[in-house]
Amino acid sequence: MITLTVALLIGAALFGIGLYGALSQTNLVMIMMGIELMLGAALVNLVAFWRFLHPDVYAGQMFFLIVMTVMALEMAVGFGVATARFRAAGSVEMEEAAELQG
């Protein structure tokens, strides 16, 4: 129980740090780093729940693989957008991308 709670607390701390980073940073790559940390927090929770609650059911590990896929996709699409933005505006600073607000 203690180890599970410690793992969940670590996940909570990482989620908070990631959320702070995603909201406070002006650079697209740094925002992606914040999102990566939040997804890392989700991974910690998934592994902790699998290990301590249902180690005989592998849906938890499957979910882990899906979240890891999402992390990779976020990086790929994010860098694609960053490349397009850099070509169009010469910068990936989101403060200078007000026209993307919609």
Binding residues among 22-41 for other proteins as defined by CB under 8 A: 23-27, 29-30, 32-34, 36-37, 40-41
CB of 16 to other proteins, least distance (A): 2
Residues 6+ apart with CB under 8 A from 18: 34, 35, 36, 37, 38, 39, 40, 41
Nearer to other proteins, 87 or 99 (CB): 87
Q: Within 10 Å of residue 85's Cβ, how many Cβ atoms?
A: 18
Nearer to other proteins, 2 or 100 (CB): 2
d(CA 55, CA 82): 40
Residue 9 touches other proteins, criterion: CB under 8 A: yes
Nearer to other proteins, 29 or 102 (CB): 29
